Amino acid sequence: MENTFFKRMLKELYIGYKTKDIKRIKSVEKKCVGELVLGFNKNLFNLALLCFMISKLLSKDRYSKSPYIIKVDEYFNLLKTHIKERDYISMRKIITKMIKLINTLDEADKKYINKLAYNGKVKIGAKLYAQGLSLSTASKLTGADKFDILSYIGKTLMADRVKTYKPISKRLKEVEAIFLG
């Protein structure tokens, strides 16, 4: 089951990258993070992180002409071949190579790139925390600092967008109904 989902998400990422569809790439990231809540998996984490990084790079026009993008294209073409062959080991290796390549992208913009990988980890950690994992667990799994995760949640108002919010009065009524019948 894990490999089927992984392969499907890689196909979606590939299509999103080739069509420059940032929404599609972000959708893949969101689906991967949703699966990470159910059970952390390093491969899905790396895929979610790669989606974050690729979507940010595609949103910056200055990277469209970078020689590194040619290498990213080559990796995506290799990825397509390995998807067809169902070579999961090679797929995972390419994802890792792409993350490393993006981390070394541009000396002139090193601050942005270095922060890109870390910001991806913070965002994924915040999503995991918002979906029910403890702050410590989200921090430990992603490698992002707890303070940075909380700061991100506060800045983005992520907690206000969670649909499962219930006012305290409603929660108390539900508890009363359980204990008093």
Of residues 62 and 102, more confidence is placed in 102
Output the pTM of the full model: 0.78
- pLDDT of 169 reads 72
Instruction: Enumerate the domain spans of the chain.
Output: 2-180
Give the residue among 160, 162, 158, 164 at the shortest CA–CA distance from 123.
158
> What was the pLDDT predicted at 140?
93
11-15, 71-75, 163-167: range with highest mean pLDDT: 11-15
Chain mean position to CA 66: 23
How far is residue 142's CA from residue 122's CA, in Å, rounded to a whole number?
7
Category of 85 on φ-ψ map: left (φ > 0), alpha (ψ -120 to 50) or beta? alpha
CA 7 vs CA 32, 68, 121, 163: distances in Å: 11, 25, 22, 29
- The pLDDT of residue 16 is 95
Whether the pLDDT of residue 162 is over 60: the answer is no
In degrees, to the nearest 5, what angle opens at C-alpha 69 toward C-alphas 68 and 71?
A: 65
Query: Which pLDDT does position 29 carry in this prediction?
Result: 95
Least confident of 11-15, 18-22, 41-45, 98-102: 98-102
DSSP 56-68: HHHT-GGGTT-HH
Output the CA angle 2-125-172, nearest 5 degrees.
100
Long-range contacts of 142-151 (CB under 8 A, 24+ apart): 142/45, 144/118, 148/122, 149/122, 149/125
Return mean pLDDT, the chain. Answer: 84
pLDDT digits (tens, 9 = 90+) for 114-151: 688 888 999 999 999 988 888 999 999 999 999 999 98
Q: Token pair 């940010």 is at which residue?
A: 56
Residue 111, pLDDT above cutoff 60: yes
Nearest of 54, 64, 60 to residue 27 by alpha carbon: 54
Task: Answer yes or no: are the C-beta atoms of 131 and 34 closer than 8 Å.
Answer: yes
Is a pLDDT exceeding 80 seen at residue 27? yes
Q: What is the predicted pLDDT for the residue at 112?
A: 67
> Which candidate, 91, 92, 160, 158, places its Cα nearest to that of 125?
158
State residue 67's pLDDT score: 76
pLDDT in tens, 51-100: 999 998 888 887 777 777 888 889 999 999 999 998 999 999 999 999 98
Q: For residue 85, what are its two tokens?
A: 């062959």
Residue tagged 């993350």 (tokens): 99
